[in-house]
Structure 1
Amino acid sequence: PPQEGRQMMLAMDVSGSMSEPDMVLGAQPVERLTAAKAVLADFLDRRAGDRVGLLVFGDRAYTLTPLTADLSSVRDQLRDSVVGLAGRETAIGDAIALAVKRLRNQPEGQRVLILLTDGVSNAGVLEPLRAAELARAEGVRVHTVAFGSDGSARFFGIPVAADRDPVDEATLRRIAEMTGGRFFRARDTDQLVGIYAELDRLEPIAAKGPTLRPRNERYAWPLAVALLLGALAWVWPERRR
């Protein structure tokens, strides 16, 4: 039988710093959010068999798509997300807590959160590490992705942006460690692609069971011979009488 798919929440930072144009996509400079959305959309294309939900966070955290097997709906909501949709600040703890709430009633061992942020938690009600304790208690595995360049990015040698709000790698690493997840650091779009490819391997999707190979049944010839012998055994005494 098929293995069970994952119950997976994707949490994406849409705070003000995600508008920094320090990423490159298709040889063109793009905002961090644009690059992240492109990579996440590709990731979703490979998750058939999972139920996926999408939440965004800024000052607060909001669910855009509850857990669903309709990944096209998730892609649509992802596409329409914009910087500032949830405020300009960064509430990492609230994002984790909201994901835990959405996942707590799902089957054990399948509860996964992938959280992407480019900043430091500076808003919200719940501290990130307290939220990580809640995730651990509810069996939610949290993978954290720190996104954003170090210092200024260059395009054909020209500085295009400065990283005004460095990402809090230490806290994100601790969240992942506490919940049994992995921490990743992406400084450009290519690294982000590699990270989501690795997450795809870490969280396997539903797989087909063992292949049943059709067998060539060979009982027909012995059965025919047996029937013929039985018929002869019945006919031969009659002919002698």
Structure 2
Amino acid sequence: MSFFDLASPWWLLVLLGVAGLVGGYIYMQRRRKERALKFANLDLLNTVAPATRNRSQHIPIALMIIALIVLTVAMAGPQADRKVPRNKATVMLVIDVSRSMDATDVAPSRLRAAQEAGKKFADELTEGINLGLVSYAGTATTLVSPTPDRAATKAAIDKLQLDDKTATGEGILAAVTQIKTLNAVLGGDAGAPPAQVVLLSDGKETVPDDPDDPRGAFTSARKAKEEQIPVNTISFGTRGGTVDLEGDRIPVPVDDDSLRRIAQLSGGKFFTASSLDELNQVYENLQNQIGYETRRGDASRPWLIAGTLMVLLAVISAVAINRRLP
């Protein structure tokens, strides 16, 4: 603990008094010993008061000194970072439902695994967060506007259906629009709760051809950045994924590069997952990041407990060893 970890560090000046108490105790013990040696029979003194007992009699005062030090630190108000659930926040879950999500390189398929993990994410997200859902293939569809009702989101996830093409930019724009709409209802952007987008996809955008198009993924990511809404992307699948289209086996390798770029442009984070377990781990990391915030707060309770216990031990040892209170 450093000096700057204390709310009221000047309470540590009490330690000067504790140091004076230690010095006074040592002085008194020496004076007492000198007086005893002047008039005592040394052989008799060693018999009735052996050296081992002389040392043990200091245990109560040592415990009391330690207790005073610990309690002084408690009064100084030690501070520590702690994770607390967010009271308010908005998260839009955006899921790619293009045909490539039918690949079985992730069992039972990319989409089915994404559905299972998405429902688990909804269940574990802290209560103070409004969660919404957008799906996209050739176009984006808002299935659930941000709401604390997890059942609505989970029911919508269960009903996701595959479709043609991949319009990632449209999915991002739909999510941002939903967040802006909720913010307006809550009184405007100035007092709006923090918001983030979580986008899960496996492939490269196909509509439009250029991600820098006005409705493209990279342009949408830049707009999200302007609105201070980071887009966290999850690249889900493997490079060996394939799908069966009209009897042909079509390779659908996961596209990390574009999803990483979306995260970078929007100020979000990029994740990869090639199995259901890995996807659940990514969602757990996001849940901790989104659902909790770190706050600096009082951490004196452990010090108070330790100091009180030390005082109790000092009293017990004084009665047991010296037959009197310290």
Among 83, 101, 126, the alignment partner of 2:177 is 101
Q: 1:179-190, aligned counterparts within 5 Å?
A: 179-190=266-277
Q: State the identity %.
A: 31
Aligned to 1:151: 240
Aligned to 2:228: 139
Among 131, 136, 146, the alignment partner of 1:67 is 146
Aligned to 1:171: 258
Q: 1:36-115, aligned counterparts within 5 Å?
A: 36-47=114-125, 48-84=127-163, 88-105=164-181, 106=183, 107-108=191-192, 110-115=194-199
Cα shift at 1:187: 1.2
CA distance in 1, matches of 2:262, 2:241: 27
Aligned to 2:203: 119
CA distance in 1, matches of 2:85, 2:157: 28
CA distance in 2, matches of 1:145, 1:8: 15
Cα shift at 1:170: 1.6
Aligned residues: 197
CA distance in 1, matches of 2:207, 2:254: 14
Contact 1:148 1:163 in 2 (8 A): no
Cα shift at 1:2: 7.1
| Moved segments of 4+, more than 4 Å | none
* TM-score calculated relative to the size of structure 2: 0.55
CA distance in 1, matches of 2:87, 2:230: 16
> What SS does the aligned partner of 2:251 have?
coil
Q: Deviations over 1:103-137 (max 9, x none)?
A: 12525461110000011100157111100111011
CA distance in 2, matches of 1:90, 1:205: 32
In structure 2, what residue type is equivalent to 1:169? D
In structure 1, what residue type is equivalent to 2:154? R
CA distance in 2, matches of 1:42, 1:172: 23
Aligned to 2:95: 12
Aligned to 2:112: 34
Contact 2:241 2:251 in 1 (8 A): no
In structure 1, what residue type is equivalent to 2:145? P
In structure 2, what residue type is equivalent to 1:192? L
Aligned to 1:129: 218
Contact 2:237 2:254 in 1 (8 A): yes
Does 1:22 pair with 2:105? Answer: yes
Contact 2:85 2:292 in 1 (8 A): no
Q: Which has the higher helix share?
A: 2
Q: Deviations over 1:162-197 (max 9, x none)?
A: 771223312211211222211011111111111111
Greater shift in the superposed pair: 172-181 or 137-146 = 172-181
In structure 2, what residue type is equivalent to 1:16? R
Contact 2:96 2:137 in 1 (8 A): yes
